[in-house]
Amino acid sequence: MDTSNLIDPMIFEDNASQNHEAIQEELLHCVKFPGFPNYKLILKTNILVILTCNLNLQAGLSNGTQLLIIAIHEKNLLCKILTSSRVGDLVIIPQIQLNQEANHV
């Protein structure tokens, strides 16, 4: 089983890091952005996951594709496609950095 913290660390642009100390990590853990997953994501091998965005249409990785997690690595997941035109194919799902635009918070 692997637990990933989805909001650590914060990335600052334009030398805004002087305010970094004022933002406590606990606050980051309770922030919820529209369209973003919750703070903790718990994954296990041999469980079903469903893609919520198009990653690679040619590889069969589109929104709604069902995958079986085969192996969990530090920066990616090895999965088997259970639906779409590529049923049975093994694919690597990389870690994806999510960025929330400041004007949408």
For residues 2-13, average pLDDT: 54
Structural domain of residue 50, as residue ranges?
2-104
What is the structure's pLDDT at 79? 96
Question: Domain tally for the chain?
Answer: 1
pLDDT of 15-50, one tens digit each? Answer: 555 555 555 566 666 667 666 666 667 788 999 999
The C-alpha atoms of residue 88 and residue 16 are separated, in whole angstroms, by 47
pLDDT of 65-96, one tens digit each? Answer: 999 999 999 889 999 999 988 999 999 998 87
Calculate the alpha carbon distances from 63 to 50, 54, 87 in Å. Answer: 8, 5, 15
What is the structure's pLDDT at 42? 79
